[in-house]
Amino acid sequence: MTKRQDQDNGQLLILIAIVFFLPFALISFFCFKHLQRRYPQTSSSQRVFDSGVIFNTLPLCGGALLIGAYLIHLTWYGLHPVVSVAVFGPMTAWLCYKLAKLLAAKYQGVTADSATDILSMPFDFANLSIVEYIQLRFLTRLGETEEIAISSIDRITREAGKSLHIHGRFGSRGIHFSNKQKRDECLAMLRRYTKAQIMFDGGS
């Protein structure tokens, strides 16, 4: 492969990455604005958001988009441009959309509203069964939020790390943060909105 071909390949890869990154950023923004309209800040609600999860989630999003862009780049020359765009284009675009929703859901965080009796939070993948993983639900449910009735929360467990777990008739759900300060801020909010028993699972 000549030096000119190497340069052309590099330029194509950069172009493909930009083509997917810009829509990713825009979709993330609009998905976040949609969540803000769905769970508005009112006198009866409180939101706990964690900016740190953005830095934890961005490497996953960026890595997945780069892999998609690289597959398009490989098949563009290895197979045919039409095959590349027709096969890996829609797949990477769909993944871009789902990851953008994931980033928005993570940044939206946890919102409690006493007027609607709704606690919203990012979807907890720990509740997926083996069958659901085989059905690729971990991909189809990527970026979803989950709603729990605040009145149905019976118990809250504060983990030693950076997580909380809520328990009730709905089962158990995990809420994860990037630091203990945000974990405790969420715990204080849940104490304000629920009468659930608080359990401490050791540590700080």
List pLDDT tens digits, range 132-157.
Answer: 989 888 888 988 999 999 999 999 99
| Weakest mean pLDDT among 79-83, 119-123, 171-175, 194-198 | 79-83
**pLDDT at residue 73 is higher than 70:** no
DSSP assignment of 32-92, as one string? HHHHHHHS---TTEEEE--THHHHHHHHHHHHHHHHHHHHHHHHHHHT-HHHIIIIIHHHH
pLDDT recorded at residue 119: 96
**pLDDT at residue 130 is higher than 70:** yes
DSSP assignment of 91-136, as one string? HHHHHHHHHHHHHHHHHH-EEEETTTTEEEEE--GGG--HHHHHTT
**pLDDT at residue 4 is higher than 60:** no
Q: Determine the structural domain holding residue 124 and report its residue range.
A: 3-201
| Weakest mean pLDDT among 31-35, 119-123, 181-185, 196-200 | 196-200
> Average pLDDT for residues 158-169, to the nearest whole number?
89
| Weakest mean pLDDT among 35-49, 86-100, 189-203 | 86-100
Average pLDDT value for the chain: 83
Please report which confidence band the pLDDT of residue 46 belongs to, taking 50, 70 and 90 as the band edges.
Answer: very high
Spatial distance between the Cα atoms of 151 and 174, rounded to a whole number of angstroms? 17
Q: What percent of the chain has pLDDT over 90?
A: 43
Q: For the chain, what is the domain count?
A: 1
> pLDDT tens, 14-23?
665 666 677 7
- Which residues, 6 or more positions from 154, have their beta carbon under 8 angstroms from its beta carbon? 167, 168, 169, 196, 197
More confident residue, 180 or 21: 180
